[in-house]
Amino acid sequence: MRVNKNMSIESVNSINHILQFNAVLDVTRGELQEIYDKAGMSFEDFRQIMTNSVDNFCADGNPVGRLIELGGVVKYVYKFSDGEQFMEISKESCA
């Protein structure tokens, strides 16, 4: 499923109480590094942006937040277009 012009969700798995989204960025590590270098940013800036987006699951009215409150975990695994894994983010609590 296409999320935006730069990323798609390749698959979604449910393992016990963990809901895992496997996302693919439409660039390689080198291409992303070049984009961020030109913008004066780092991979850490990107990691923070992605972490903030997962934190939005706990926003008022988001039903995923209820899943987390009941003990579920939402996990995103990001990889580059060439298959190299980039990062994982888990949301285990809305506190």
- pLDDT tens-digit readout, 4-34: 888 999 999 999 999 999 999 999 999 989 9
> pTM of this prediction?
0.83
> Domain segments of the chain: what residues?
2-91
Tokens 């009941």: give the residue. Answer: 70
pLDDT digits (tens, 9 = 90+) for 43-54: 888 888 888 888
Question: Could you say which DSSP state residue 17 is in?
Answer: T
At the top level of CATH, the class of 2-91 is alpha beta
The residue count for the chain: 95
